[in-house]
A and B are shown apart, each in its own frame.
Chain A
Amino acid sequence: MGAGVPDQPRGDIRPGDPRRNRPYSGTSGDVSPASEPVPATSGPTPRPDAELVLAACNGDAGAWEEIVDRHLPTVNRIARSYGLPRQDREDAVQTVWLNLNQHLPGLRHPHLLRAWLGRVTRSVCGRQRERLRRLVPVDPHRLAGGATVSDVEVEYLRKERHAELHRAIDALDPTDRRVARQYLDDSPDAVPLSHRTTANERRNLFRRLRRSLATTDRTKGVRDP
C-alpha cells in the first residue's frame, strides 16, 4: 500500500487535456480491460478504471463517484463475508475508501483497481475481525466478583467423568495404558503424542478406550451404589 511512482501511463488523458473533466464521450481509443463490467445495453461506454483514477487525482469528484458506484458493491460483498457486526463493517468499508483516496496518486496499476480494493478490504476486515476476536465480552459481575465459585453439581460431574476415564484406562492392556496416560499428560515438557505414535495406533487406542468407557457406563450402577 506504499506510495510510489506509477510505473505505467494512466489512460490516454493528460492533465492539460480539455476532455479531462468532461463526461466520457466514448470516442477514445482506450479499450476497457476484460475484467471491467461491460453494459448489456447500448449506453455510453463506461470509462476504464485507469482513466477514472487519473481524473479523480486531478480533482474530478464525478470520477470518484463513478469509482465508488462501480466498486462499492464488491467492497461491501467482501466486507460482509467477514461476518462483522454492522458498525464494524461500516467502519472497515469507510477505512478502505479513505485509504484509496490517500493512495490514489501513487497507485502503480490503476487498471487493477478492483484487485487493489479487494486486497485492502480483506486486510482491513481481517484486522477488524482479529480485534473483535480479542475483545470477548464478559459478564462484569463475574469479573468484579474475583474468583468464580463453580457449581457444586458441575464439579461433581467433572470429577466423576475424570474417574470413569481413568478406570477405563486402567482396564486397557499395559502398552495402551501407557500411551493413553502419555496422551493425557499436558505438562509443558511432555512431547506431543503424535510424535510417538502413528495415526493407526492412535485410532486403535481411541477405539479400545471408547469400548472400555462404554463397558464402564453399563456397569456403573452396579459398582457405584
Chain B
Amino acid sequence: MKDTEPGRSAALAAFDRSLDRARTACTVLDSTPSRDPSRSEAVATTTLRFHLDGLRVDLRLRADGDLSSLSGLVIGDFDHVEVCLRRPEERLRLFVRGDGAFHAEGLRRGPLALTMERPDRLPMVTDWFTI
C-alpha cells in the first residue's frame, strides 16, 4: 500500500511542528470564485477573510490561467506586521506597505497559507486553502 497509495509523499512532507505555538486565524469568509463578465479572459476571483485577536486579513485571489495572484490587506491593531506566504516546503516573505496592503503574483496552483507576525505577540497562521 505504502508505495502505491497516491499522495503519500506529500502527506508525509506536511509534517512540520515549527509553528505549533502559532494561533490559527478563523476563516470568516470564503467566497466561491466568480468570473469578471467585463473581461474576455478566464480570470476568476476568490475572496477570503481571516480574523483573530482584533486582526483581520482580507485576501483576493485572482486565478489567471495556470498562475494566480494574491492581493491582501491587514487591518487592525498593529504597528508592524510581517506576512509570510507558506507553500509546502517553501516560505516567501511579502512586503507589507504602511497601510497593511501586500501583494504576490505568479503563484503556481496548490495549497497556500499565510502567517502574520507582530512584535511581542504569538504568530498567527491561516488555514491552508488551495489556489
Contacts and interface: CB of A to CB of B under 8 A. Distances in A.
Contact of A127 (B6, B125, B130): B130
Interface string A57-70: 10101001100110
B119 to A, nearest CB: 22
B5 A73 contact: yes
A150 B63 CA distance: 30
A56 B15 contact: yes
Contact of B10 (A65, A93, A140): A93
A137 B88 CA distance: 28
B40 interface: yes
A73 B125 CA distance: 28
Contact of B24 (A3, A56, A128): A3
A57 B109 contact: no
A64 B111 CA distance: 20
20 contacts: A57-B20, A64-B12, A69-B8, A72-B8, A91-B110, A93-B6, A93-B11, A94-B11, A97-B14, A98-B14, A100-B14, A101-B14, A102-B19, A102-B24, A103-B24, A104-B20, A127-B129, A128-B130, A135-B33, A135-B63
Kindly list the 9 A-B residue pairs having the minimum CB-CB distance in the complex, ordered from nearest. Answer: A97-B14, A97-B11, A98-B128, A143-B40, A3-B24, A95-B111, A94-B10, A64-B15, A93-B7
